[in-house]
Amino acid sequence: MKPLFDLGVLPVRHRTGRGFKPHVSLIFNAGKRLTFAIDTTNSHSPQPDAYLITHAHSDHNGRSAMLSARAVCSVETARALEILYGKKYAGRTFRIGETIDIDGVEVKTYSTHHTIGSCAFYWQNEVGTRILVTGDVKDAKDLPACDCLVTEANYGDYEDPGCHFEDDIGSFKEIVEEEPDDLAFGAYAFGKAQRAVSLLRDSGYSGKIGMDPISLALTQGLMENTGPLVDLESNCGIRITTPAQIPSLKVSKKFILTGRRDYKFPTINISDHMDVNGLINMVHKCAPGAVITYHPGGHRPLKLATYLNKKGIYAKALQQINTVIDI
Ligand SMILES: [Zn+2]
């Protein structure tokens, strides 16, 4: 059985002199032959017809793709990339939920609730295959049904206990209620830090929140109704900074907001991702005939694809894709 061939979707891996990159492009026909690169760097030759950037996390390569006029991403992702990298975004933007025309293809966009501006892309090829590319996903509630699903596997290993979790919003709120005067949270500057600000305000905390410069710039640049935000040195009850900066912070209570289990500090399970059950539920909901797991590097895409195959769903991890372009 060759479901991807029958669906008219050719996924392609990228290789340089140093080996395979964790990148995928999709080649398909829609009136003409088109190539959409998914979360790749812009070092292609020949150039694809579009660089789809699902969101601004560094491992999705917007830093490089943003410099191409063929880049396509949400308004918020473009703004986040400009704040993160200090360069002008050269591509085109859209508001999530809009349908855009890329080389004659109607591409629909859907929120994935992973970071501000994160979104999935959906289009049909000329044999009617519905293609959905998600990037990273926190909540699949807005995603449509499709025939070919290209998705992530950050927590895709069903056998790994670390891939089974739920957000512990209850603990987060309790800690904020108990210690609102001398508390710090470790959170990545883009994504988690903004989630933390939202959670603090939802918890009823209305005081000043101190943030490191990058987190502060991203939060002020991307969010509305943040309440008072200040720098880390200012007088404030609660601080948010990167996990790397947490050890040196002179604050009595410190927690890292993460689903990971390899930190020395106490953690609160707040993730920007779904766990493996969420990923599997997303696949059932979207009901594709074929799944491609393309992200992140490492073994989890293969673990998820293998699990799905055992459950009777055709799936391939990026590393099982045999078509290769040298870039
Ligand atoms: Zn991400």
Listed by start position, the domains of the chain span 3-160+274-326, 166-268
Determine the pLDDT at residue 277: 98
More confident: 312 or 327: 312
For the chain, the average pLDDT equals 95
Burial class (CB in 10 A: 0-12, 13-18, 19+), 225: exposed
* pLDDT of 1 over the 60 cut: no
More confident: 4 or 285: 285
The Å distance, Cα 222 to ligand 1 centre, comes to 16
The Å distance, Cα 136 to ligand 1 centre, comes to 5
The Å distance, Cα 57 to ligand 1 centre, comes to 5
Indicate the fold that domain 166-268 takes in CATH: Rossmann fold (3.40.50)
Determine the pLDDT at residue 3: 80
The Å distance, Cα 55 to ligand 1 centre, comes to 7
The Å distance, Cα 126 to ligand 1 centre, comes to 31
Convert the pLDDT of each residue in 284-312 to its tens digit.
999 999 999 999 989 999 999 999 999 99
Is the full-model pTM beyond 0.85?
yes
Q: Which amino acid is at 72?
A: V
CATH number (3.60.15.10, 3.40.640.10, 3.40.50.620, 3.30.300.130) of 3-160+274-326 reads: 3.60.15.10
> Could you write out the DSSP letters of every residue in 272-297?
SS--HHHHHHHHHHH--SEEEEEESS
**Helical H segments across 16-130, by residue range:** 62-65, 75-85
CA distance 323 to 327: 13
Convert the pLDDT of each residue in 127-162 to its tens digit.
999 999 999 999 999 999 999 999 999 999 999 999
Convert the pLDDT of each residue in 218-277 to its tens digit.
999 999 999 999 999 999 999 999 999 999 999 989 999 998 778 888 999 999 999 999
E strands present in the chain: 10-16, 19-29, 33-38, 50-52, 71-74, 92-94, 99-102, 105-111, 119-124, 130-133, 148-152, 183-186, 209-211, 229-231, 238-241, 253-257, 267-268, 290-295, 315-317, 324-326
The Å distance, Cα 232 to ligand 1 centre, comes to 25
The Å distance, Cα 31 to ligand 1 centre, comes to 33
What residues have CB less than 8 Å from 291, skipping those under 6 apart?
148, 149, 150, 151, 283, 305, 308, 313, 314, 315, 316
The Å distance, Cα 60 to ligand 1 centre, comes to 7
The number of residues making up the chain comes to 327
